[in-house]
Amino acid sequence: MVNIKTKFIFLYFIVLISIGSFGFHIIGGKGWGFIDSLYMTIITLSTVGFAEVHALTTFGKIWAILIIIFGVSGFALFISQLGENLMEFREKRRQRVQDILKKLRNHYIIFGYGRMGAIIADELAKKNTKYVIVENDDDKIIAIQEKGYQYYRGDATADETLDAVGVKYAKGIVVTLGTEQDNLFVTMSIRTLNKKTFLLSRCSHEDNKNKLKRAGADKVVNPYTAGGHKMTELLIEPNIEDAVSISTPQFDIDLLVEEIEINNVPSLIGVSIVDSNIRKKYNLIIIGIKDEKGKFQLNPDMNYKLGKDQVIMLIGAKSNIKSFQREYLKNK
């Protein structure tokens, strides 16, 4: 909505152009038509430096000087008002964001939009969950705006920021700030405000994991350790493709989720899940089946019969999956 000052500035220039054109017409006499006078006024105001329509008399030059003075003054007023409108727009947007955030309940909060924070935001967006990102870096905020994600510009270590994004009402919070010191401080501050929320924190050094847990984090993730563990698995077992590893360095769990095409296991075509003996012989569980039309069925019935062009999803120990592959799969 255009405010009164902006309307006044537009009216100011309309009046200035009108008076300026009329003045050139009067001073120039009959030789100055309406178009010539208007043209001279416009090029004088814009200071583009085009040639004069007609030679100016002394009074004409004085009139041009007056138009330039009033034009520059009006332009300065316009720039000032433009800056004021921009600040007002930003304040209204900030207030609108705060009003939205005040209504959020059972939402998720991401502190820090680094590489890990960006991935988490993408995943939450895919799941259509309510969440907000807290960031204070201009470049990262531009990246957030380009994706259309909800965000709050502020210092994550400030109490007013924690209040603004509704830490007290959040369902889950992840802290992925740039420094261990900030992660530790924010984790502790969040836990003080909300005892029940699930709090996930990132650490870069294993030595700080226990500190973050003592500060209130439910889980602490070291992306370098987790990533290194996954790369080691791929290095040692490069033939296990398209498998989702569930093994972790912290726990003695060595599970894989592997997709198997039934066409590669002809002996299973037309056989029910219970009669396939996959569970009994290999201690593997069929957790899902994708049929020939691409439709996925989770946790299929044990009497379900396997058919051509289907894909089964197995979960089990890596060693058991390898045993199954060695015995049944072709070209392995």
Residues 205 and 118 in one domain: yes
CATH number at residue 155: 3.40.50.720
The beta strands (E) that lie in the chain are given as 108-111, 131-135, 151-153, 172-175, 198-202, 219-221, 244-245, 255-261, 285-290, 296-298, 311-317
Q: Is the Cβ–Cβ distance between 32 and 24 less than 8 Å? A: yes
How far is C-alpha 170 from the chain's CA centre?
19
Residues 210 and 286 in one domain: no
236 residue type, one letter: I
**Segment 4-29 mean pLDDT:** 82
Residue 77 belongs to a domain: yes
Note the pTM of the prediction, 2 decimals: 0.55
The answer on 264 and 189 residing in a single domain is no
Instruction: Clarify whether residues 93 and 108 are in a common domain.
Output: no
Which of 6-15, 159-168, 295-304 reaches the highest mean pLDDT?
A: 159-168
List b or e across 280-311, with b for residues whose CB sees 16 or more CB atoms inside 10 angstroms. Answer: eebebebebbbeeeeeeeeebeeeeebeeebb
Q: Are 23 and 68 in contact (CB under 8 A)?
A: no
Last residue of a domain, one of 99, 126, 156: 99
Confidence of residue 46 (pLDDT cuts 50, 70, 90): confident
How far is the C-alpha of 193 from the C-alpha of 215, rounded, in Å?
A: 12
Stretch 258-283: mean pLDDT: 89
- Report how many domains make up the chain: 3
Beta strands 285-290 and 311-317: pairing type?
Answer: antiparallel
Query: CA 257 → CA 100, 300, 308, 315, distances in Å?
Result: 40, 16, 21, 4
Domain ranges, residue 253: 240-328
Q: What is the CATH number of the domain that holds 10?
A: 1.10.287.70
Q: Are residues 206 and 263 in the same domain?
A: no
Q: Which residue has the higher pLDDT, 326 or 131?
A: 131
- Of 221, 255, 275, the last residue of a domain is 221
- In this structure, are 82 and 113 located in the same domain? no
Question: 201 with 149, same domain?
Answer: yes
pLDDT in tens, 311-326: 998 888 888 888 888 8
If asked whether residues 94 and 193 sit together in one domain, one would say no
Q: Give, for 78, the enclosing helix (H) or strand (E).
A: helix 58-102
In a domain, 33, yes or no: yes
Last residue of a domain, one of 99, 119, 142: 99
Residue 106 binned pLDDT confidence (cut-offs 50, 70, 90): very high
pLDDT at 67: 85
